[in-house]
């Protein structure tokens, strides 16, 4: 059993790392204006017919500079996010032991969804770390080589693929956290099973914000930026805002939920708990 003192903080560590990454991404991509220049480098070359050669050259040069400025910090943030996913995997392994000991189908389903979310999280962090780590090798490259990297299909295609897996991770995390929160098992006193009293408000907040983040990220991938070039910046702001709020709600939930799981696991390990009925945490 992975019930060591270190692993009793795995969910909280994972949530804090995810929240820190959500805080850093808006600065890296928007507040520094580098990320917007990079996005424009993807969009504007496809609209050459409506631009002068001088404006196109200026946009491409700004995109080249943005790649040099953003690639290394983004690769580092993806590495931090990957550590967060690994800590979430540690929590999933612990809570799966509790789910196995229960007869609550919904709780086990939440654990399975969390496992799928961890899998998607590992995939998207590996993809983004790979492409931005590769892009960071172009920091000292000539402008012509960096321009070829931007104009080529590899960087944007892989970034969109990583975003799809990130959207899938949020899609799994939201219902998983809600089910774990809603059907958290408790001991049965005197052999009398208490009725479920509903989820905490944080469980509802997490599923709503996670689903909104998933839809926003997926929409940004599905809707071509060339269709709505003037909405590129507001839409990215919207997606990152949802991600930040979802990270804050998940962190608050983790600090209330994980201690209850730890207590239940200690009771189960000592043979003192019966986990046949869910109820609201106190």
Residue 150: partners with Cβ closer than 8 Å, 6 or more residues away: 38, 41, 42, 60, 63, 64, 67
* Nearest alpha carbon to residue 179 among 268, 252, 111, 261: 111
Whole-prediction pTM: 0.81
Handedness of CA 257, 81, 126, 79 (dihedral sign): negative
User: What pLDDT was estimated at residue 237?
Assistant: 77
Of residues 146 and 40, more confidence is placed in 146
Please state the rounded mean pLDDT for residues 42-55. 58
Of residues 210 and 66, more confidence is placed in 210
Residue 272: both structure tokens together: 């003192």
Of residues 236 and 43, more confidence is placed in 236
User: What pLDDT was estimated at residue 138?
Assistant: 82
Q: How many CA atoms lie within 13 A of 194 on its CB side?
A: 17
Whether 240 has a pLDDT exceeding 80, the answer reads yes
User: Where is average pLDDT lowest: 78-82, 195-199, 224-228, 261-265?
Assistant: 195-199
What confidence category does residue 193 fall into, taking pLDDT thresholds of 50, 70 and 90? very low
3-state SS, residue 282: coil
Please state the rounded mean pLDDT for residues 187-193. 36
Of residues 171 and 232, more confidence is placed in 171
The DSSP symbol for 270 reads T
Whether 182 has a pLDDT exceeding 80, the answer reads yes
Distance between CA 65 and CA 138 in Å, rounded? Answer: 11
User: What pLDDT was estimated at residue 226?
Assistant: 52
Identify whether the C-beta of residue 272 lies closer than 8 Å to the C-beta of residue 181: no
């Amino acid at each position: 059993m992975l019930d060591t003192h270190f692993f009793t903080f795995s969910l909280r560590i994972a949530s804090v790392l995810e929240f820190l990454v959500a805080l850093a991404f808006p600065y890296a991509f928007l507040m520094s204006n580098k990320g917007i220049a990079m996005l424009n480098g993807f969009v504007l070359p496809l609209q050459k017919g409506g631009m002068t050669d001088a404006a196109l050259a200026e946009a491409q040069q700004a995109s080249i500079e943005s790649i040099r400025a953003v690639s290394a910090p983004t690769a580092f943030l993806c590495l931090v996010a990957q550590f967060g996913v690994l800590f979430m995997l540690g929590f999933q392994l612990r809570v799966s032991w509790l789910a196995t000991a229960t007869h609550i189908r919904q709780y086990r389903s939440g654990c399975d969804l969390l496992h799928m979310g961890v899998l998607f999280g590992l995939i998207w962090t590996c993809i983004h770390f790979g492409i931005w780590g590769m892009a960071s090798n172009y920091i000292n490259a000539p402008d012509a080589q960096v321009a070829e990297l931007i104009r080529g299909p590899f960087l944007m295609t892989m970034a969109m693929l990583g975003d799809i897996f990130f959207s899938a991770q949020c899609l799994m995390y939201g219902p998983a956290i809600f089910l774990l929160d809603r059907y958290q098992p408790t001991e049965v006193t005197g052999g009398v099973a208490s009725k479920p009293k509903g989820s905490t408000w944080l469980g509802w907040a997490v599923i709503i914000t996670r689903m909104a983040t998933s839809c926003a990220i997926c929409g940004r991938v599905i809707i071509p930026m060339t269709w709505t070039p003037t909405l590129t910046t507001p839409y990215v702001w919207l997606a990152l805002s949802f991600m930040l709020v979802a990270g804050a709600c998940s962190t608050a939930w983790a600090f209330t939920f994980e201690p209850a799981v730890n207590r239940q696991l200690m009771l189960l390990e000592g043979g003192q708990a019966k986990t046949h009925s869910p109820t609201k945490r106190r």
